[in-house]
């Protein structure tokens, strides 16, 4: 992983991007063309100026506190009908390494999470056609939720991506609204904004041709907002997408958030998470096309900063991925516009199986120490960014 980012204080006094940054600092929303100009910058001084602007906006929009959540990640199955070209996680049924946790195993993981102080379970899995029980896939997902919520009603379940909602709706002949409402009634508290990858169908036709298309992803997330289910948002970056496609992705997220606000939906997107591509164990065709196995930190940091500048007026919470960048890289991202360092996870399969070296679990004390190392204030939060307790 490359570490060639500019040092603090390396900003040039005058750059061609200064007018863009000045507009951002004055509170304006940048145009997509302006964001592209920032991402095309290669001058170290200009990059430092972008970083400094993102950091100032982070301070204005989110303050000096860096938050984290104590959570457990449960990937309940890796058996999946789809064949995304970046995924090293999926397996066919009966293949070596395939797994599908039953209710007892899921509950055991939840019990361990509560014992370790978790306030959230994040739950996602492969699209396993055998989830369809008694003629209905939805009943399987509802039962998974109730297995946890019946035992631990206080736990927040951050569960089932728009792709999983689309899968259930397709299998059972239901509307997205009906699926989301049923999951919500069962106890799901929020929806992960994963499966977004890059919200451009030209990219999706290459890296995930079987996945839901851009319009459907946006429709499902907006339906969740209308029904009162908060969501997060993500971008899988650093593979075959162009800078223009990265910015178009950000623009779609910004418009989605603006609609939630303008239409007075009760909830909206709570955070944005940049997910750099890890390809060490990914299927060979995409790995060869990308030409590297691990994220380029400098590229990720610049996109992190521009994401804050472009989205920050509308999505105030920005989070790096310590699983993909390592804790050192994620801590550096806190200087580039991020105000949250994510969750403890306790276990993680999807990125680790792709070859990430960042680890699968972080103790709260480790996250707090990383935050303090850059003279920021650590604070435990819940899933919806409410203060949970005094900082560690």
Task: Catalogue all structural domains in the chain, each as residue range(s) with its CATH number.
Answer: 26-133+192-218+228-380 (3.20.20.70)
Residues of the chain falling short of pLDDT 50:
1-3, 5-14, 349-358, 390-392
* CB neighbour burial string for 6-24, b if at least 16 within 10 angstroms, e if fewer: beeeebeeebebeebbeeb
Q: pLDDT value at position 359?
A: 52
pLDDT one-digit tens code per residue, 269-284: 999 999 998 755 555 5
Backbone dihedral region of 385: left (phi > 0), alpha (psi from -120 to 50 degrees) or beta?
A: left
Strands 269-276 and 318-319: parallel
DSSP sequence for 152-191:
-TTSEEEE--HHHHHHHHHHHT--HHHHHHHHHHHTEEEB
Q: What pTM was computed for the model? A: 0.90
CB atoms within 10 A of CB 364: 18
Q: What is the pLDDT of residue 7?
A: 47
pLDDT of residue 286: 57
Query: Rounded to whole angstroms, how far apart are CA atoms 370 and 138?
Result: 41
Tell me the pLDDT tens digit for each residue of 366-383.
Answer: 999 999 999 999 999 999
Note the pLDDT of residue 248.
98
Q: What is the pLDDT of residue 133?
A: 81
Count of positions (residues) in the chain = 392
């Amino acid at each position: 992983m490359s570490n060639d980012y500019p040092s603090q204080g390396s900003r040039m006094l005058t750059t061609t991007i200064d007018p863009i940054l000045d507009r951002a600092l004055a509170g304006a929303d940048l145009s997509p063309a302006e964001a592209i100009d920032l991402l095309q910058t290669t001058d170290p001084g200009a990059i430092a100026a972008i970083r400094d602007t993102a950091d100032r906006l982070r301070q204005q929009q989110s303050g000096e506190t860096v938050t984290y959540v104590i959570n457990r990640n449960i990937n309940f199955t890796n058996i999946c009908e789809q064949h995304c070209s970046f995924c090293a996680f999926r397996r066919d049924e009966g293949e070596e390494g395939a797994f599908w946790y039953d209710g007892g195993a899921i509950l055991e993981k939840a019990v361990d999470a509560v014992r370790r102080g978790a306030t959230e379970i994040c739950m996602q899995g492969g699209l396993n056609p055998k989830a369809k029980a008694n003629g209905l896939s939805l009943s399987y997902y509802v039962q998974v939720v109730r297995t946890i919520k019946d035992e631990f009603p206080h736990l927040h379940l951050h569960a089932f991506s728009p792709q999983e909602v689309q899968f259930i709706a397709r299998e059972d002949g239901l509307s997205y609204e009906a699926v989301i409402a049923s999951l919500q009634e069962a106890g799901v508290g929020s929806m992960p904004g994963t499966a977004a990858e890059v919200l451009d169908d030209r990219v999706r036709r290459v890296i995930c041709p079987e996945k839901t298309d851009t319009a459907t992803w946006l429709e499902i997330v907006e339906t969740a907002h209308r029904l009162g289910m908060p969501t997060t948002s993500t971008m899988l970056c650093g593979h075959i997408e162009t800078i223009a496609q990265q910015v178009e992705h950000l623009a779609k997220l910004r418009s989605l958030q603006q609609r939630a606000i303008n239409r007075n939906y009760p909830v909206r997107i709570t955070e944005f998470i940049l997910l750099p591509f890890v390809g060490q164990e990914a299927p060979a065709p995409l790995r060869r096309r990308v030409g590297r196995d691990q994220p380029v930190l400098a590229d990720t940091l610049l996109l992190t900063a521009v994401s804050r500048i472009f989205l920050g007026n509308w999505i105030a919470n920005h989070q790096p991925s310590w699983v993909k960048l390592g804790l050192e890289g994620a801590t550096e991202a806190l200087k580039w516009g991020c105000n949250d360092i994510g969750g403890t996870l306790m276990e993680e399969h999807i990125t680790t199986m792709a070859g990430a070296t960042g680890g699968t679990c972080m103790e709260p004390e480790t996250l707090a120490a990383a935050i303090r190392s850059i003279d920021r204030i650590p604070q435990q939060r819940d899933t919806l960014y409410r203060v949970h307790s005094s900082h560690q």
